[in-house]
Structures are given as structure tokens and as C-alpha cells.
Amino acid sequence: MVPTVPAFGGVPAGPEILILLLILALFGAPVIVIVAVVLFLRSRPDGDESAAVGGDADSDVDPAAAAYSAADPDAHSTADIDADVAANAERIAELEAEVDRLREEVDDQESD
């Protein structure tokens, strides 16, 4: 049996408008979400993130020494700890230099 009231009765081009709205919803919503995520990630401030991960930038406790003492205080001598701390500090300095070099490279590419 055919319904007596047609769908979208009285609305000119009603089904076409519905199809256009569905297309906009299917393709527009993901684009809006992606743009929002990109803008959110780009708007985050750069800087020291040690406080964000639970570290205290002003703390006098050496994390390497604290890790050794927490694991087994008799297992390592202070010379071993000092050597590991020095190696870690050297590696951190290398990584910071690499980050600075990459930032300059990105800045040069953005200025072109």
C-alpha cells in the first residue's frame, strides 16, 4: 500500500537537501575533527615538560641516584653512580644539541 502523505511533502527538493546534508555530515565532521586536533596540538606551549611528567625542576635529588638507592642501596658504589650520571648528562647534552639543530632546520624550512 502506498502512503497517502509523501515524504517531504510540500518541501521543494526535500530529498536532495537531505542527501546534501548527509554528505556534509559524512565528510565535513571528520575534517573538522582533524583540524581541531591539529590546532590543539600546535597550540600547546613548548618548554620544560619535567613538571608535567611528575618531575620537579628545582629538586636537589638526582634521579639516577634515587633509582639506584631505591633498587638496592648496596649494589652500586658511588663511583658507579657518578659514572652513570656523567654518561647520562653527556647523552642528554647530545640530545639537546640534536633537538636545537632540528629546530633550526625546521625554522629554516618554514621561512622558505
Per-residue pLDDT reduced to its tens digit, 13-67: 777 888 888 999 999 999 999 999 999 999 887 765 554 445 555 456 566 566 6
First-last CA distance in the chain: 68
Per residue in 62-103, pLDDT tens?
Answer: 665 666 555 565 566 777 888 888 899 999 999 999 999 999
2 Cβ neighbours under 8 A, 6+ residues apart: none
DSSP line for 3-37: -SS-TTTT-TTHHHHHHHHHHHHHHHHHHHHHHHH
**pLDDT attached to residue 18:** 84
C-alpha cell read off for 91? 647523552
pTM score: 0.31
